[in-house]
Amino acid sequence: MQLIDGKALAKKVQDSVATEVEQLKQEENIVPGLAVILVGDDPASHAYVKMKAKACEKVGFYSITHNMPDTISQDEIIATIEMMNSNPRIDGILVQLPLPKHIDTDKILEVIDPKKDVDGFHAYNVGRLVTGLDSFVACTPLGVMKMFEEYNIELQGKDVCVVGASNIVGKPMASLLLNANATVTITHIFTKDLKAHTSKADIVVVGVGVPGLIKEDMVKEGAIVIDIGINRIEDGSLVGDVDFKNVSPKCSYITPVPGGVGPMTIAMLLSNTLKSAKQRV
């Protein structure tokens, strides 16, 4: 069993982004800029945004965070996004999810200029991804693809079971895998017999938010298991969606939680923002 070290790979990606940022500054006088919109006081969202801002600073980006109260109106959020759309110093706009219930998330995401949609959630980018065209791709599944590449894990012709079908994790993950010529099965809460699908797969990618959902008898010997889940359990520790202790001995490769997919998400956000900034040239 080999651990896929997301922390080390994320550092490698960040170092290479930092080098390119320096070059972009020297040669084109461009400093990539990221705007984050944070609504409400959800502690997890605040922690994520803080981590993103710190990562931006580390690689030499310009970054701003718009902190907005829970009571903010949808129109005010839209106005802020429109301001960022036309701000030439901003290459990427990120709206931290989830948004409060009175806000229509789909509507908000549609307002972001697709050319600055570094989270890859806009329907324009989703459509381009599904069609196999160049696009901004959601950072978490993009990070998983980077892991496959780094560890020389071949995808063509492989049976891959994606567990979880959300717009930000499972669906873009499945599209990327399909574009890489894998045979993809997408499962979700209404799947009748989850084990029947996961146990046949060469690769299981799980992102659902249920601690320990994937158990030892649900994966085949030698499987590759990617755990996207991040769950805080009663004792305060972070665990994934895979029963790591019992599943890992069966795997050829597995990602740990923490230190697996999590750090890759921020690294790919930096990479997407750099990609956007390069399009200014």
Residues binding ligand NAD (CB under 6 A) = 140, 163-166, 168-170, 187-189, 191, 194, 207-210, 213, 228-231, 261-262, 265
At 80, give phi and psi (nearest 5°). Answer: -65, -40
What's the closest the beta carbon of residue 249 comes to ligand NAD, in angstroms? 23
Residue among 59 and 174 whose Cβ is closer to ligand NAD:
174
Q: Residue 236 class from Cβ within 10 Å (0-12 exposed, 13-18 middle, 19+ buried)?
A: exposed
Is 52 part of the annotated catalytic residue set?
Answer: yes
Contact partners, residue 199, CB within 8 Å, separation at least 6:
217, 218, 219, 220
Residue among 24 and 257 whose Cβ is closer to ligand NAD:
257
Is 119 part of the annotated catalytic residue set?
Answer: yes
What's the closest the beta carbon of residue 21 comes to ligand NAD, in angstroms? 22
What's the closest the beta carbon of residue 263 comes to ligand NAD, in angstroms? 8
Identify the residue whose tokens are 């599209």: 175
What's the closest the beta carbon of residue 223 comes to ligand NAD, in angstroms? 17
Query: What's the rounded Cα separation, in Å, for the pair 59 and 15?
Result: 7
- Reference 270, options 29, 5, 36; nearest CA is 36
Question: Which position among 5, 52, 91, 117 bears the catalytic label?
Answer: 52
Residue among 128 and 188 whose Cβ is closer to ligand NAD:
188
Residue among 32 and 207 whose Cβ is closer to ligand NAD:
207
Distance of CA 18 to the CA centre of its chain: 20
Residue among 31 and 168 whose Cβ is closer to ligand NAD:
168
Please give the torsion angle defined by the CA atoms of residues 120, 124, 129 and 135, in that order, rounded to the nearest 10 degrees: -60
Copy the structure tokens of residue 271.
């990479």
Residue among 10 and 251 whose Cβ is closer to ligand NAD:
10
Asked if residue 206 lies in contact with residue 242, where contact means CB atoms within 8 angstroms, the answer is yes
Give the H or E element holding residue 94.
strand 92-95
Question: Which position among 91, 117, 119, 243 bears the catalytic label?
Answer: 119
What's the closest the beta carbon of residue 115 comes to ligand NAD, in angstroms? 23
Contact partners, residue 218, CB within 8 Å, separation at least 6:
194, 195, 198, 199, 204, 247
Identify the residue whose tokens are 């740990």: 256
What's the closest the beta carbon of residue 30 comes to ligand NAD, in angstroms? 28
Question: Which position among 5, 96, 146, 202 bears the catalytic label?
Answer: 96
The strand order across the sheet containing 62-68 reads 62-68, 33-39, 92-95
Tell me which residues are annotated as active site.
52, 96, 119
